[in-house]
Homo-oligomer: A and B are copies of this chain.
Amino acid sequence: MYLRTLLEVQAEAMTTISSERLAELAGVNAAKVRKDLSYLGSYGTRGVGYDVDHLLVQMSRELGLTRDWPVAIVGVGNLGAALANYGGFGDRGFPVAALVDADPSKVGTMFGGHKIRDLDDLPALVEELGIAIGIIATPAAGAQEVADRLVAAGVTSILNFAPAVVTVPDHAQLRKVDLALELQVLSFYGQRESIGASLREELGVSAESKESVG
């Protein structure tokens, strides 16, 4: 998040930035910014702030963003296809290097400039293309097996879009994005609001207005 903010700051030709300003832009507390940045080392200058360029270099290095990380998308259904077409990954250093599916009728066909490969080809793909990250975009039922096969093939970073609990060995990293879950959380607040609204209506009370925290 800091990285993204710093890139914007850099684009505005600012050479240094204070923790306070960075906190404001990133939407967090200034003390937290300083504590977080201190893990990189003491790169700030008291009385001045942090050198934007230097911070960006250090941060990119620490985050491993000085090289590209080829990703494989497993599951070329609705979501997988959508993600494959979405250009945002490649732009940010995560080129989609392979598409994989278990469905024999899909394997061998082209999609978005890639020939869809079989799940069994995973080890070869890792070897040939240096796949570092696997994206699971299969139905929930197949997610765990795909994860297992990704790990077996040597992929140690997995991003799971399938709405299922998936576990991996400790040496592998797993993150999950559950789109429906996010909407359900919003639905929860929407629900509470509806209840609040009908209650207020019933009681003839006007809604309180709150100020944004920024």
A65 within 8 A of B: yes
Give residues 112-140 of A contacting B (CB, 8 Å).
Answer: 132-133
- Residue A58 at the B interface, CB < 8 A? no
In the complex, the answer to whether A210 meets B173 with C-beta atoms within 8 Å is: no
Contact code string A86-101 (vs B, CB < 8 Å = 1, else 0): 1111001110000000
Asked if residues B213 and A179 are in contact (CB atoms below 8 Å), the reply is no
Number of copies of chain A assembled together = 2
Chain A interfacial residues counted at CB < 8 A? 66
Interface of chain A residues 171 through 198 with chain B (CB within 8 A): 171, 173, 175, 177, 179-194
Q: Across the interface, which residues of B come within 8 angstroms of A192, CB to CB?
A: 64
- Any chain B CB within 8 A of the CB of A110? no
How far apart are A42's CB and chain B's nearest CB, in angstroms? Answer: 20
Other-chain residue from B1, B85, B94, B165 in contact with A82 (beta carbon distance below 8 A): B85
Contact: A171 with B69, CB < 8 Å?
no
Tell me the complex Cα distance, A154–B81, Å: 33
Residue of B nearest to A4 (CB): B163
A61: min CB distance to chain B, Å: 8
